[in-house]
Amino acid sequence: METRILKINKECPEEKPLLEAAEVIKQGGLVAFPTETVYGLGGNAMDPNASARIYEAKGRPSDNPLIVHIAKFTDLKMITREIPEKAEALAKKFWPGPLTMIFYKAENVPYSTTGGLETVAVRMPNHKAALAFIEAAGGFIAAPSANVSGKPSPTIASHVLEDLNGAIDMVLDGGSVGIGIESTILDLTVEPPMILRPGYITQEMLQEVIGEVVMDPGVSSEKGESRERPKAPGMRYRHYAPKAELSIVEGEQDRVIERINEIAKDYMDSGQRVGVIATEETKNLYHASVVKSIGFREDEEMIARQLYGILREFDESQVDAIYSEAFETPKMGQAIMNRLLKAAGYRVIYVPGRHWKKNYRKLLFVCNGGTCRSPMAKAIFESMELKRPLQVEARGFVSLFPEPLNQKTEAILAANGLKLEGYSSEELKGEEITENTLILAMDESLRKKICEKFPEHTETYNYTDFVGENGDINNPYGDSLADYGACYTQLKEMAEKLAEKINQEEEE
């Protein structure tokens, strides 16, 4: 089949393409068309064969219901059994617009459109060309997003063609969409009404109009952990996914950048290509094969609009893996993160911040063998004044049998009026690491080893890094007394910074 592409003006749609597209629908064919959210793949909602063709073209499981698009509120009563008052209030406020509502269906709506359900999803798009097309084509257009099942939804006509060229009759090309992620879906057949898919219209916005609205627990919970199945069938499928494996890295911005760069370096060192989804603020700070900016962090409309396009672009850039920052924006953040998490198959790397946490009860300094740097760190730190008590210990990453303090360490401590009586080295053991334990490693390679050995524990940092400094605590082992002295000076400086940080952050 040849797919015809007709340009259409989204503000003042021309009659010719509208009539041609309407004719295709009336003949039982399929037309992809722009809306304010994403492009839809339209067929006559009242024709079971048209719905069947939609499923076939998309490669979509036929138990996944379609949204019926209408152009006038009065048409709603033709396809629903009843219209709750709340729906009327919401339609008044948000239609035409990016809100889909679920009602009990009238008998004339074919089960092939509703995926066998007794309910029907209805939406009136806020898009002049879409409304004119729906009207001209008879008033009821069943349309899922116009992508092949599993791929990101299309936000420009060429995305539609990438997926469906040759499989559908026509594409109305109205340029780029406004919002970029799919409509909010609200189920009005339950009380209180439930959001089945977050979108541009947020829970707060809905609650302002109709009072309590709840979020489907299956939407926010993570795959695997979830005991709840999402209630919208389509939300259960793998979705929006680029070809390369995508992971989200979450945490304080500079930590996230650091971690992504670390990971990217490992990939590139082994000859692989890695992509990064960054923001305008951070894009120049990454060292990766491909870095794409999704927009300014505060501009959530832009982030939403660019998301699917960027996921698609990565399919052309031959990367082996993609790492993305997280975008917890105030309004649409939930909708954006919901799509991003699905695209990532819920792979999230959480990078802990270097905040002092009030629940820390134990501090473990760790060096290689537990005989010089960590006991020195312990002795120095214990001489600091803290606003609250803290258990402080020194450990070796490997310490097969107890050894006394290194002699030069002892000498340097003594010269500074400090001693550790009866000290002998101990190995860092899993049993003593609780969630209230902060581990400070003396250097970066140790930090990595500790993280690898105790992957459950997220509170391990490089000592210098934790207090906001760079580099490692140099290992003086086997060097001169002067080197031990230099180590002392460095540890003293870190201890002062750490004590100050703790006392300050305890107060906040």
CB 333 within 8 A of CB 285: no
Looking at the Cβ atoms of 149 and 329, the one nearer to Mg ion is 149
Looking at the Cβ atoms of 60 and 292, the one nearer to Mg ion is 60
Give me the 95-134 binding string for Mg ion, x by CB under 5 A, dash otherwise: ----------------------------------------
Looking at the Cβ atoms of 238 and 358, the one nearer to ligand TXA is 238
Q: Where are the alpha helices (DSSP H) in 35-121?
A: 48-58, 76-79, 85-94, 111-114
Q: Where are the alpha helices (DSSP H) in 383-435?
A: 407-415
* H-helix or E-strand spanning residue 375: helix 373-382
State in angstroms the smallest separation of the CB of 244 from ligand TXA. Answer: 23
Looking at the Cβ atoms of 121 and 132, the one nearer to Mg ion is 121
CB 502 within 8 A of CB 356: yes
- Indicate whether 149 belongs to the interface with Mg ion (CB under 5 A): no
Looking at the Cβ atoms of 175 and 471, the one nearer to ligand TXA is 175
Residue at shortest CB range from Mg ion: 145
Looking at the Cβ atoms of 214 and 420, the one nearer to ligand TXA is 214
- Indicate whether 145 belongs to the interface with Mg ion (CB under 5 A): yes
The whole-angstrom separation of Cα 115 and Cα 341 is 25
Residue 480 buriedness (CB in 10 A; 0-12 / 13-18 / 19+): exposed
Looking at the Cβ atoms of 121 and 446, the one nearer to ligand TXA is 121
Question: Which range in 79-87, 141-149, 364-372, 409-417 contacts Mg ion by CB under 5 A?
Answer: 141-149
State in angstroms the smallest separation of the CB of 16 from Mg ion. Answer: 29
CB 336 within 8 A of CB 300: yes
Which entry of Mg ion, ligand TXA, none binds 37, CB below 5 to 8 A by partner kind?
Answer: ligand TXA
The backbone torsions φ and ψ at residue 437, rounded to the nearest 5 degrees and listed phi first, read -105, 130
Which entry of ligand TXA, Mg ion, none binds 143, CB below 5 to 8 A by partner kind?
Answer: ligand TXA
Q: What is the DSSP letter of 401?
A: S
Residue in the block written with tokens 């977050």: 198
State in angstroms the smallest separation of the CB of 123 from Mg ion. Answer: 13
- Pairing state between β 274-278 and 321-325: parallel
State in angstroms the smallest separation of the CB of 153 from Mg ion. Answer: 5
Which entry of Mg ion, ligand TXA, none binds 171, CB below 5 to 8 A by partner kind?
Answer: none
CA atoms within 13 A on the CB side of 480: 2
Q: Which residues bind ligand TXA (CB under 6 A)?
A: 35, 37-38, 40, 64-67, 100, 102, 114, 117, 119-121, 123, 125, 143-145, 182-183, 185, 196, 232-235
Looking at the Cβ atoms of 120 and 263, the one nearer to ligand TXA is 120
By three-state DSSP, how is residue 60 classified?
A: coil
Measuring CA to CA, how many Å separate 135 from each of 70, 124, 499?
8, 11, 70
H and E: helices and strands count for the chain: 17, 20
State in angstroms the smallest separation of the CB of 431 from ligand TXA. Answer: 47
Q: What is the DSSP letter of 109?
A: S
Question: Which range in 7-15, 55-63, 139-147, 402-410 contacts Mg ion by CB under 5 A?
Answer: 139-147
Residues at the interface with Mg ion (CB under 5 A): 145
